[in-house]
Amino acid sequence: MSYSTKLNILGLMSGTSMDGLDMCLTKINIIENDSFSYEIIKSKFEPFNDFTKLMIKNAVDGINIEIADAHLGNLFSQLCLKYFESKNIDAIAMHGQTISHQDGVMTHQIGDPQFLANTFEVPIIYNFRQADIDVGGNGAPLMPFLDWLLFDNSEYDKIILNIGGIANLTHIPCYTKRDNVVGFDTGPGMALIDELCILKWNKPCDWDGNYSSDGEIIEPLLTELMMHPFVNKKYPKSTGRHEFGKEFVLKILEKWSVYELEDILRTFVAFTAKSIWENILKLRNFTFENSALIVSGGGVHHPIIMEDLKRYGQLKIMSSSEMGVDPDIKEALLMAVLGACRIKNIAANMPSVTGANFHVVLGDIYTRKA
What DSSP element (H or E) covers 158? Answer: strand 157-163
For residue 248, tell me if it sits in a domain.
Answer: yes
**Helix intervals (H) in 212-363:** 219-225, 229-232, 246-255, 261-280, 303-312, 330-343, 351-354
pLDDT tier at 33 (50, 70, 90 boundaries)? Answer: low
The 10s digit of each residue's pLDDT in 189-245 is 999 999 999 999 999 999 999 999 999 999 999 999 999 999 999 999 999 888 999
> Has residue 2 been placed in a domain?
no
- The pLDDT of residue 337 is 98
298: pLDDT strictly greater than 50: yes
CA distance 64 to 70: 10
Q: Report if residue 133 sits inside a domain.
A: yes
In a domain? residue 110: yes
Q: Is the domain of 124 the same as that of 247?
A: no
> What's the structural domain count of the chain?
2
- Say if residue 68 is in the same domain as residue 197: no
SS3 call for 319? strand
Q: What is the pLDDT of residue 2?
A: 47
**Full domain range(s) for residue 119:** 7-140+331-366
Element (H, E) at 316: strand 316-319
Q: Would residue 159 count as lying in a domain?
A: yes
Q: If we measure between CA atoms, which residue out of 299, 291, 247, 254 comes closest to residue 273?
A: 299
Measured in degrees and rounded to the nearest 5, phi and psi for residue 368 equal: -60, 130
Q: Are 92 and 366 in contact (CB under 8 A)?
A: no
**How many residues comprise the chain?**
370
Domain assignment present for 1 = no
Determine the Cα–Cα distance for residues 163 and 302; give it in Å rounded to an integer: 10
Whether residues 103 and 248 share a domain: the answer is: no
Strand partners, 317: 293
Amino acid at 116: L
pTM, 2 dp = 0.92
